[in-house]
Amino acid sequence: MMESPSTSMGPIARAIAYGIDRHPTWHFRLGVVLGDGCGRLSLSRSEILEQFSECWEGLDDPRGGNAVVHDFYELLPIALCTVLCGGQGAVDRALFAKAKEPFLRSFLKLENGPPSHDSFSRLFRSLDPEQFRASFQRFMAKFSKGCQGVVAIDGKVLRRSFDRASGKSALNMVSAWGCEQRLVLAQIATDTKSNEIPAVPKLLEMLALKGTIVTADALHCQRDTAAQIVEQGGEYALALKANQSAIYDDVKLFFEDPECAAVAGPALVETSRDRIETRTATVWTDVGWLEKNHRWPALAAIGRVVRVRETGEKTSSETAYHRLSQVLRRTGSTPSSAAPGRLKTACTGGSMWR
């Protein structure tokens, strides 16, 4: 007997199961993964299935005999769509398949109707984990080729991954978040926080960076990382903090100099419940002196973002400095007025990680 949607699914997935499919992100996410990479389901049924199946070559179908009722390469995209829309287990997948049968038939045959929760359960209990991991990484690598916009690199500790009984430390994950796609494009697990630095180059190798701006916090702002981003056709907007004191001090002194000619752009104001955050960005592109002193790969500009947060009666401020490989300039602008709006977009595009 299937669980009630109210107990088995989150609010977004429940809305989808009941046919309320107007959530602002779910059509876009499905279009990104199963469509043309830009949020549109514009490919034909055969093209969608062919591209999807190619990514999962090497993943064996573990079912046999009477268990093979539904096509292997039809169960996988249904499960993927369910996860994107907030579902989790086999019951959620079956509920999604039944509620969205007309949509799924636009690119799947479903010759035996929507799969039951038993069909999903039998399949995913038997899949080889290593084969699935390798295939899924290949799928995300192919998907990332069409990605544009900001890609945020950051490391996080997985909640509740510490095992006291066996003495295992918490699991650290280094992830690449596609801000426009609103999806994790790639992930690599590391044993400790200190191992994140050598993991970033491997993570970047899994991505197609042409046409993207890569952001990262100060821990990952290494010269080799910056050079690799540029070599792969991307641009960077890398945080600058006191752990690299020489270049940090120079940039900070430049922007704090009363005679500094850099002019801040229009403020960006965002509200979230009881919090108001105002960001003001300044970009300066005449950085020949900085490049000469510090030899930073492909350095084209430096930027400053001032954040002022108001929560109730409390007000706090934070100033962040960044290195940029791309000259963000408006037509006819001077070096002091190089487009700060794009800096705010790049440097706050990874807000999911904050």
353 and 156 Cβ atoms separated by less than 8 Å:
yes
Overall average pLDDT of the 122-141 stretch: 86
Q: What is the pTM of this model?
A: 0.68
User: What does the alpha-carbon distance between residue 128 and residue 109 come to, in Å, rounded to a whole number?
Assistant: 26
pLDDT at 313 over 80: yes
Task: Give the closest residue to 191 by CA, choosing from 174, 204, 175, 206.
Answer: 174
Q: Give me the pLDDT at residue 280, please.
A: 92
Q: In Å, how far are 257, 268, 270, 275, 317 from 312, measured between CA atoms?
A: 32, 19, 15, 7, 14
Residues 213-245: tens digit of each pLDDT = 999 887 778 889 999 999 999 999 998 888 888
Overall average pLDDT of the 51-61 stretch: 83
Would strands 172-178 and 149-157 be described as parallel, antiparallel, or unpaired?
antiparallel
Instruction: Express as a percent the part of the chain with pLDDT over 70.
Output: 72
Q: In Å, how far are 37, 127, 163, 272, 329 from 204, measured between CA atoms?
A: 19, 28, 30, 32, 27
**Order of all β-strands in the sheet with 149-157:** 183-190, 172-178, 149-157, 212-216, 235-240, 314-324, 301-311, 275-284, 268-272
Count CA within 13 A, CB hemisphere, residue 107. 26
Q: Could you tell me which residue, 39 or 129, shows the higher pLDDT?
A: 129
Q: Give me the pLDDT at residue 259, please.
A: 86
Residues 202-220: tens digit of each pLDDT = 889 888 888 899 998 877 7
Instruction: Express as a percent the part of the chain with pLDDT over 90.
Output: 30
Position of tokens 């959620």?
A: 92
Q: Give me the pLDDT at residue 221, please.
A: 81
Strand pairing partners for 239?
322
pLDDT at 349 over 70: no
Q: Using N-to-C axis directions, what is the helix angle for 196-205 and 223-231, rounded to 10°?
A: 0
pLDDT at 338 over 50: no
Residues 73-93: tens digit of each pLDDT = 899 989 988 887 878 899 999
